[in-house]
Structure 1
Amino acid sequence: MVPKRVQDYMFSILSDSFSRYFSPNFTFIIEERWQAVDNETFRAVEAYLPTRVGPATDSLLIGSNDPHNLEQSIPVDCKIIDKFEGMELEWSLRSTEAKKYFHRERRYFRLKCKKSDRERIMKSYFTYIADIAKTIISKRENLYINTYDQEAGIWDSTVFKHPATFDTLAMEPKLKQEIIKDLNAFVERRDFFQGVGRAWKRGYLLYGPPGTGKSSLVAAIANYLRYNIYDLQLQSARSDADLRRILTSTTNRSILLVEDIDCSTKASRDRTRIKDEQEEDSEDEQTHKLSSSDPGVTLSGLLNFIDGLWSSCGDERIIIFTTNHKEKLDPALLRPGRMDVHVYMGYCTPAGFRKLADAYLGINDHCLFATIENLLEDASVTPAEVAQHLMKSDQPQAILESFVEFLKTKKNETEEGK
């Protein structure tokens, strides 16, 4: 006589009560997102569990960019049994369908244990996982470069295999050592940043003519620190709120890269210059700007993104801006605390040429080196131009003779330009 829906409801109440009071098990849930940012505990478990794959594991996700070097990961619904201090723990990765206001599935880990082990797991086990994961991440073989997909609202990643290192960079040795010293100090001074009340981040501005090695320096920093790169085009952000959401979806121990910031958005440009440019805009361009539905990123939003409250949503991050025209940037962006280190990437120097000659030709000295170094003092030649010329042949004598003629031509062009 009891309706079926009432029966189901009563059964669910009794089932929940029974499991709550009589079941010996307890379940931890670790979701991918935590309080509007990436859940670092989820990332730690994601790095840790592939090292605990054993005979009891019922499925495994494998793949590789190199068929001779397979990598493994945890697929959805895979179960892994781990043992820690006499406890037997069951892990599984689950996924739920995305709701209409989410752009992708929501993943979470389930950890099933005995109720009596709950406190030990909270105090010891998760700390143990965090320490192991930190070691794994610091020694990871693959780095990733991420590009923001505006339509899907997620970061798309691909393996980053740029060969640039500080050993291969064609830049002044003194400047190179200063950058390395600054990076080491940043990584090792977490307590210092907390003690002085500053977010654990560092801002770099790389500026100079095109082809002077700004992108190569970014790659060298990533390879040196073993940090993933998030390559952000500011046009991808429709508004300041959108920019904040993009920022909070990046992970710790990463580089946030904004290339050619003077071209990315007018919010970064000197406000006096923008006013002059707007007066020169055509009527059609002005109409297009007024009809745009996306307000875009404002200067205040960009500043808050660099050193405001939202910039503290994460630890151990490096923000790198590159530009060919530092003078076009608004002075507010250049103040200490926003872009902490300004690195000028200039034309090729004698020291830079010797590094390139060693890399491309395999020689450390030659009778033409003195002539070339004297010409480099007066000719404006980028490291990219030097590298392009040196890689034309594997005959050092012929290449250097041709390069001398090239430098003489560039010197004449420079003098005529002046």
Structure 2
Amino acid sequence: MATLLKELPSFSTLLAAYASISAMAMLIRSILNEMVPEKMRKYIATKFTELVSIHFNSDFTFVIEDRWKAADNQIFRAAEVYLPTRVGPSSDSLLVGSNDPNDPTAPIKRSIPPDCTITDDFEGMRLKWSFSSIETKKYYVPNKRFFSLTCKKSDREKVEKKYFPYITKIAQDILNKHESLNINTYDQECSMWESAVFKHPATFETLAMEPELKQFIMDDLDAFVQRKEFFENVGRAWKRGYLLYGPPGTGKSSLVAAIANYMRYDIYDLQFQSVRNDADLRRILTSTSNRSILLIEDIDCSTNVSRDRAKPKEIVEEEEDDEPGPNRSAFDPGVTLSGLLNFIDGLWSSCGNERIIIFTTNHKDKLDPALLRPGRMDVHIYMGYCTPAGFRKLSTTYLGIKDDKLFGSIDDLLKSVEVTPAEVAQQLMISEEPKVALNGLIEFLNMKKNKVEENEAEEEEKSSKEKEAKKKKKTVERQNSMQAAETDTRCIYLT
């Protein structure tokens, strides 16, 4: 050992060697800087770094952003659903909450917060997930969100071919088992959809509609779900458009809720006030999920581009002046009718499957014909005033009775008075005693009938007065004309 120690160079010798090597390295570096162009130096440095990484770093990272091209990244969505189920002792944080105001005791829901790390095992592989969210500088650009999945380089191909399809399938199974539905609204500030639990009690059984119409809608929905291959064979996007039109209070929103409950589809309620331009509209609509309902309510009030372009400009301006100011300017002028139609029935309509698009309006005559044609609004459903059949459904729902001797009087009044199902339901809710509620409804209908008759009498009297005034005006004009003619005759005679 002593002999070995004696053979080792001294510290001063090592220091001198180090100084010589450093000086030589600095000299070579200076020569390279002078002789080799900067781009070439960067290229050499990059290749050297890659070479070192290949031999000394065995990890590989997949980056999964929330958007892929112009649509939502389906792998990102699958990870959002799957990863909360894999939270274990090794996880350092977890986002929890509940968005069900109807049931405060409902089980909490899990989500992944930024900078959270989750470890998952799959077929002998140890996989490490992390979630990141980067805030953008522009307020109208959404935050950049992405997952990072780290694995061994030798497992890269296995992750792509087996693991990603696995988590996609598990996520879809989880979504299919969800008992509750969600209603989503678009948050312009955060540039993303926000959801809440949707628990509307409306069903086709409770709707105050004609039985034939309800059956027609259910049959149409059933046919839509079962005709996936038909849509593919004819080269059309798998979607269905409905237009619900009629006076306010006739049950348009209740029908939407009934369709959602019947189909078990989530609802995306789009308010055009939150849309800035066509590009923003495309991004918003392509971020909706499959098997969902896109709802655009009161489209005649939400946007000027939906109006009938065939009407004279003066008539359109007169109609706009009759509406409230906020509705008239709610739609961003940068959004065009073609931008909306392109998603409903254009090339962008193919970005998604099994979607139902529902428009509602109180004034169908104000809509542009381009919005009304088949392929955009395939089914037009008139939601009219309450009929005797609708009243019987309401009486069964609210009072628990299917017949009464007062029904005949109510039927006669409903045939002569325009009253909405909402107004009838409001009267039936006055009392739980059927006799009291029915008599109150009869009194309400008689009051409305008398008011209508009074208005008609006033209109008739007004019309008579206007006719009389016009008649008197013509008489006066005739007399003035005759006097003028007589004066002219006298002047001619004197001359």
TM range (shorter): 0.7 to 0.9
1:103 maps to which residue?
Answer: 141
One-letter identity of the residue aligned with 2:258: A
1:213 maps to which residue?
Answer: 251
One-letter identity of the residue aligned with 1:192: F
Shift of 1:395: 1.4
Structure 2 unaligned regions, length at least 5:
1-21, 30-37, 322-329, 457-495
What are the Cα deviations for residues 308-330 of structure 1, in whole angstroms up to 9, with x where unaligned?
11222222222111011112212
Deviates more, 1:191-200 or 1:398-407: 191-200
The reply on whether 1:23 has 2:61 as its aligned counterpart is: no
| Aligned counterparts of 1:346 and 1:281: Cα–Cα separation in 2 | 22
CA contact (8 A) 1:237 1:296 kept: no
2:263 maps to which residue?
Answer: 225
CA contact (8 A) 1:150 1:237 kept: yes
One-letter identity of the residue aligned with 1:76: P
Shift of 1:20: 3.4
1:52 maps to which residue?
Answer: 86
The reply on whether 1:114 has 2:152 as its aligned counterpart is: yes
1:335 maps to which residue?
Answer: 373
| Aligned counterparts of 1:126 and 1:191: Cα–Cα separation in 2 | 26
CA contact (8 A) 1:230 1:254 kept: yes
1:35 maps to which residue?
Answer: 69
TM-score (norm 1): 0.86
2:418 maps to which residue?
Answer: 380
Deviates more, 1:207-216 or 1:256-265: 256-265
One-letter identity of the residue aligned with 1:248: T
The reply on whether 1:145 has 2:145 as its aligned counterpart is: no
| Aligned counterparts of 1:101 and 1:35: Cα–Cα separation in 2 | 21
The reply on whether 1:196 has 2:196 as its aligned counterpart is: no
Q: What pairs with 1:158-173 in structure 2 (closer than 5 Å)?
A: 158-173=196-211
Shift of 1:331: 1.6
Identity between Structure 1 and Structure 2 (%): 66
What are the Cα deviations for residues 142-172 of structure 1, in whole angstroms up to 9, with x where unaligned?
4333333445544344333333222322222
One-letter identity of the residue aligned with 2:435: Q
CA contact (8 A) 1:140 1:226 kept: no
CA contact (8 A) 1:187 1:316 kept: yes
**Residues 137, 259 of structure 1: CA spacing in aligned structure 2 closer, same or farther, 3 A cutoff?**
same
2:487 maps to which residue?
Answer: none
1:124 maps to which residue?
Answer: 162
Q: What pairs with 1:359-378 in structure 2 (closer than 5 Å)?
A: 359-378=397-416
| Aligned counterparts of 1:16 and 1:190: Cα–Cα separation in 2 | 48
1:288 maps to which residue?
Answer: none
CA contact (8 A) 2:140 2:189 kept: no
One-letter identity of the residue aligned with 1:125: Y
CA contact (8 A) 1:31 1:39 kept: yes
TM-score (norm 2): 0.74
Query: How large is the RMSD of aligned CA atoms in angstroms?
Result: 3.2
| Aligned counterparts of 1:184 and 1:85: Cα–Cα separation in 2 | 41
Alignment: residue pair count: 408
Shift of 1:384: 0.5
1:394 maps to which residue?
Answer: 432
**Residues 129, 274 of structure 1: CA spacing in aligned structure 2 closer, same or farther, 3 A cutoff?**
farther
**Residues 122, 360 of structure 1: CA spacing in aligned structure 2 closer, same or farther, 3 A cutoff?**
same
Secondary structure at the aligned position of 2:416 is classed as coil
One-letter identity of the residue aligned with 2:223: A
| Aligned counterparts of 2:331 and 2:182: Cα–Cα separation in 1 | 33
CA contact (8 A) 2:139 2:189 kept: no
CA contact (8 A) 2:237 2:353 kept: yes
1:287 maps to which residue?
Answer: none
| Aligned counterparts of 1:223 and 1:10: Cα–Cα separation in 2 | 63
Shift of 1:176: 1.8
The reply on whether 1:263 has 2:297 as its aligned counterpart is: no
| Aligned counterparts of 2:331 and 2:79: Cα–Cα separation in 1 | 41
The structure having more radius of gyration, on CA atoms, is 2
